[in-house]
């Protein structure tokens, strides 16, 4: 799919996201990149992995679909790239509901931030470490992949409380 398209630089992708404009970006808490582009190790066939963080009350399927179309039309199609989009709310981040949230907090590149998401990402990584998680690496097809795991054996039935302090379900 990328044969007749230019390969974007990280700086170009960041500029493309910011070029969506303040009015559009202001609908979000943060917008950024994940995966190989965020890590700085894309290969010629790398897709574009985006994340959008939104206030809890602003999320809807329509919001997510509109952002999918917007990023597809204004960024991914420009470079002939496949794309993925994940949308999380601030509450989702504080719950640290999935391993993907931890990976995003650790390796995601925040391009636009109203002011709280970079700090939340830092808190998530710190919380993971405080809970005894460690970051390890394994060899993949194109590069080493990072993953998080417990740094010790768990007792049968042991539960690790991982949500950020102040999270109130």
Is 83:48 a contact under the CB 8 Å cutoff?
yes
Count of alpha carbons within 13 angstroms of residue 21, beta-carbon side? 4
Instruction: Output the pLDDT for position 2.
Output: 45
Q: Measured in whole angstroms, how far is the alpha carbon of residue 68 from the centre of its chain?
A: 14
Residue 12: pLDDT over 70:
yes
Reported as a single tens digit per residue, the pLDDT across 47-85 is 999 999 999 899 999 999 999 999 999 999 999 999 999
- What is the residue extent of each domain of the chain? 10-150
Question: How much is the pTM?
Answer: 0.88
Q: What fold does the segment set 10-150 form as a domain?
A: Beta Polymerase; domain 2 (3.30.460)
Residue 117: pLDDT over 80:
yes
| Closest to 117 (Cα-Cα) out of 130, 127, 108, 128 | 108
Instruction: Output the pLDDT for position 167.
Output: 62
Residue 18: pLDDT over 90:
yes
Band the pLDDT of 3: cuts 50, 70, 90.
low
Check residues 5 and 90 and name the one with the higher pLDDT: 90
Band the pLDDT of 98: cuts 50, 70, 90.
confident
Residue 111: pLDDT over 70:
yes
């Amino acid at each position: 799919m990328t044969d007749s398209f230019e390969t974007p630089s990280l700086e170009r992708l960041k500029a493309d996201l910011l070029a969506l404009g303040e009015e559009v970006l202001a609908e979000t808490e943060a917008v950024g990149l994940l995966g190989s582009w965020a890590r700085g190790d894309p290969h010629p066939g790398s897709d574009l992995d985006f994340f959008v963080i939104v206030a809890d009350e602003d999320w809807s399927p329509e919001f997510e679909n509109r952002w999918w179309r917007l990023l597809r039309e204004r960024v991914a199609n420009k470079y002939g790239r496949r794309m993925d989009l994940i949308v999380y709310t601030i509450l989702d981040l504080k719950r640290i509901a999935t391993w993907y949230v931890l990976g995003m907090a650790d390796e995601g590149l925040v391009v636009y931030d109203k002011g709280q998401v970079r700090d939340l990402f830092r808190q998530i990584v710190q919380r993971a470490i405080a809970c005894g998680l460690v970051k390890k690496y394994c060899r993949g097809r194109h590069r080493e992949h990072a993953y998080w795991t417990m740094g010790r054996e768990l007792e049968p039935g042991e539960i690790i409380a991982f949500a950020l302090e102040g999270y109130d379900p």
